Amino acid sequence: KELAARCIHEASSRAGGPFVVINSATITPENMEIELFGREGADGERKIGALEEAHGGTLFLDEIADMPKDTQAKILRVLVDQTFQRVGGSNKVHVDVRIISSSARDLASAIEEGALREDLFHRLAVVPIRIPSLAERREDIPALINYFMENMSLASGMPRRRISEDALAVLQLHDWPGNIRQLKNNVERLMILTSGDPGATITAEMLPPDVGELVPATPAGVRGEKLMSLPLREAREVFEREYLVAQLNRFSGNISRTAEFIGMERSALHRKLKSLSVES
């Protein structure tokens, strides 16, 4: 979500201004208003908040439904007239800032539960955008891995790593419940683990156990001993079905790309999927 918000910022007329991030889920309610609006002390000491830092640019409010309700009311005021008061201050501060917000929660449910103000939601939901999970766009994973490696290489001086086909297949088949952050953390971990060998190739055996299962379970999944107890024809059918389902998931249901990768004609793959009762 943050990457998408940053792309919106960089493609806008505000690209020359700052891009400031506040994650409501990681800030205590006691500190939230200070982080957003800043503070003025009795001795004249002043702390600038995120809204002033983002003046002329974009403020990204991540996990907006986790923000305290009192603070939500003050953010609503900023959206109405672009003014606020610092904590402990009495003067109005004027800012020119675009606010982009996000949440991993169902916001309709958050409103019903009283966690999110409905009037704030309608003020923010001018152009709603749904960001697909990483599991819904597995074809992006190789490009994202290259991007993370390039960034880490530039930041740390470590050489980029090669990734074997089997490791890439596993990474594309994983469900990534933590989405891009989880993928990024795993890429960084793999680069660190291979830092002693500049020519190292990352293989599937190097992946952590929670990522390293090659074929994810399917609702009717059959594994290990159960598979070995089946007659050859039935076992082959079970394997083919799960293999093809996994490959289709890997390429987000794209028949042409799946057929190209597994070495089948598109029409032949269609027939095989139909014979195995796999929806495509």
Average pLDDT over residues 141-161: 90
> For position 215, what pLDDT does the model report?
44
The DSSP H or E segment spanning 51 is helix 50-53
> For position 217, what pLDDT does the model report?
44
Q: Which residues of 209-230 are buried (b: 16+ CB within 10 A; e: fewer)?
A: eebeeebbeeeeebeeeeeeee
> For position 38, what pLDDT does the model report?
96
Domains (range + CATH), the chain: 2-124 (3.40.50.300), 135-206 (1.10.8.60), 224-275 (1.10.10.60)
Contacts of 227 (CB under 8 A, 6+ apart): 235, 238, 239
The DSSP letter of residue 215 is: S
Secondary structure tally for the chain: helices H, strands E: 13, 9
Tell me what the pLDDT averaged over the chain comes to: 87
> Is residue 83 helix, strand or coil?
strand
Pairing label, strands 19-23, 83-85: unpaired
- What CA–CA distance (Å, rounded) separates 53 from 68? 21
The DSSP H or E segment spanning 124 is helix 118-124
For 180-233, the pLDDT digits (tens) are 889 999 999 998 888 777 778 898 888 888 786 544 444 344 554 455 567 877
Contacts of 164 (CB under 8 A, 6+ apart): 201, 202, 203, 204
> For position 228, what pLDDT does the model report?
58
Q: List the Cα angle 252/267/217 in 5-degree steps.
A: 40
For 84-122, the pLDDT digits (tens) are 999 998 899 999 999 999 998 899 999 999 999 999 999
- What CA–CA distance (Å, rounded) separates 115 from 67? 8
Residues paired with residue 60 on neighbouring β-strands, in sequence order: 21, 100
